[in-house]
Amino acid sequence: MRRIVIVGFESAGMTAAAAARMVDPAAEITVIERRPYAIYHPCGIPFAIGGEVPDIQKLIESTPPMPNVEVRTATEAIALNAKAKKVEIQELKTKKRSAVKYDALILATGSYAFKPPIPGIALSGVHVVKTVEDGQAIIDELGLAKRAAVIGAGPIGLETAAALKGRGLEVVLVEALPSVLPNMLDPDMAGLVVRKLQENGVEVICGQVVKKILGKQRVSSISVGERELLADLVIVATGVRPEVKLAKGAGIELGKTGGIKVDERMRTSAEGVYAAGDCAETFSAITKRPVLSQLSTAAIHMGKVAGTNAAGGEARFEGALSTAVTTEYGFEIASTGLTTEAAKRAGIDPIAGRIRMLDKPRYYPGGKPITVKLLVEPEEHRLIGGQIVGSDGAAERANLLALAIKRGMTVEELSWIDYCYVPPVCDVFEPLVVAVEAVLRKL
């Protein structure tokens, strides 16, 4: 009987367990998870803070029934001996230690919230947004706080800023880079998002760093540039870092990005050891360069590949596009592939086409603006990136563009896609095709 051990039970680990069981139903699968509960949904935390999810505990789920899969919660993997093929574990309540042997091991250890070295970051009232416990701690302070500062303008930062504003707090959002959502949007597209935030009362400061978090025992203000801004609640949303302590301790090779280096089958440098999810360094589907794609959707794909191969099957990862979506004040903001800056770092000077139009015919009531930007590789005319900001349909269009990129479609091919039309739903001119035409005029 094949023994498979999985460390971590978030998106990658859970999917790996399901995939492994499908390939080898007789395999003995053991999951090690340090949390006291098996499954939770971190992407829902900002919406629990904002009250759209009325009870944050609903983000926690019990372990789904999986034959031959044992999930050991409140148990930590503290050491890995890759040569002996065993994992040393410790039960967190009893401190009891034991060893689990494996034929195949999947590291799905995830990531941890990054805290930049800002003086005062350990003060009371300063929080990250990573776990249910983090979210509950923020919710518990909502009645005490009047002014919040959110450091970091990625999706979690923006969603949390909007959530806190909706709870009646004054909110300032601070981003060190020149624009918000820098890994998703070009600055011109990000400007649409900033305008929406400002219209709803969120102050946005870009291109400046938080120098200090001030206060005695509890935060009272932050220092940004030459300004001191009052804040009795601070949210640090400066991204995550791969959790690689277990792998590093076992001598497993790490990649340039700091994640566990894997090949297209999710194999690490240690025999019989795979890695998937936030902890793994994978590759861009476009540039083939090493990347961290720390999204639940990417983790699910990687987990499926790792679980399939660990159980004796055959699967290969096609690379990451980091297709992502967030929502602010009725806006859907979605992207896939490369931004202009990312393309240039890879040696590509893309041709861009951007359009803005209504998502329904002008004569039909209820039409709302949608802005689409496409990036195209100039030599072969392949689509390499797409960004959509609008009230409806951004996510679905980003998904379609992701498929087009994965299949190597040119903009000429994309211009001939069939699409549907009825006035209450959409215009006769599909915004993606209109954006394609804008690119074609530049080729």
User: Which residues are tagged catalytic?
Assistant: 43
Instruction: List own/partner pairs for 131-136 with CB under 8 A and 24 or more apart.
Output: 131/35, 131/40, 131/42, 131/45, 132/40, 132/42, 132/45, 132/56, 132/57, 132/59, 132/60, 134/45, 135/45, 135/46, 135/48, 135/49, 135/56, 135/59, 136/56
End-to-end CA, the chain: 59
Residue 361 forms beta bridges with which residues?
none
Helix axes of 187-199 and 155-166: crossing angle, nearest 10 degrees: 10
Amino acid at 256: K
| Residue keyed to tokens 């589907």 | 285
Q: Which two tokens stand for residue 251?
A: 């001598």
- In whole angstroms, give the CA distance from residue 16 to residue 2: 15
